Structure 1
Amino acid sequence: MAVPARKTSKKKKKLRQTHQKISKPEISYNEALGDYRRSHHISLKGYYKGRKVSE
C-alpha cells in the first residue's frame, strides 16, 4: 500500500487544485426566435438550429 513519505504542504495542495474550477456556461441569443440558449442544447422554446424538436 502506497503511503506518502511526507505531509503534503498547503501550497502544494492548493497549486494542484487550481485547475478544478467551475466555468460559466456559454449562452447565445437567437435574434430570429428572440430566445437565449446554451451551446449544443435546445432552446427554452424547443428549437435547435431553427427547427422545432420538442413540444
Structure 2
Amino acid sequence: MATPARRQSKSRKRKRRATQKLMLPAIHWDNQLQEYVLSHHVSLSGYYHGKQVIHKSLK
C-alpha cells in the first residue's frame, strides 16, 4: 500500500479543504411582498425589483 513520503503542512491541507464548503442560496427580503425572494429572479407573484413584470390573467 502506498504511503506518503512526507507529512503535508497545515496550510497545504487547509488550502485543499477551503473549496469544500456549503453554498447558501442568494435570497433577500422583499418589503413589498413580505417574503424572501431569490436574487436576480422573478418572484412567484410576478414582481422583479418592485415592479410587476408578469401579469397573471384572471379566469
Return the TM-score normalized by structure 2. 0.50
In 2: Cα distance, 1:46 partner to 1:17 partner: 40
TM superposition outliers: structure 1 runs of 4+ over 4 Å: 15-18
The alpha-carbon deviation at position 53 of structure 1 amounts to 1.5
> What is aligned with 1:4?
none
Q: Where do residues 1-55 of structure 1 align in structure 2 (5 Å cutoff)? A: 16=16, 18-54=18-54, 55=56
Residue segments in structure 1 that go unaligned for 5+ positions in a row: 1-6
In 2: Cα distance, 1:23 partner to 1:29 partner: 18
The alpha-carbon deviation at position 20 of structure 1 amounts to 4.7
1:11-43 residue CA offsets vs partner (Å, 9 max, x unmatched): 8xxx75752544110211111221220111111
Residue segments in structure 2 that go unaligned for 5+ positions in a row: 9-14
Q: Secondary structure at the match of 1:45?
A: coil
Q: Which has the larger radius of gyration?
A: 2
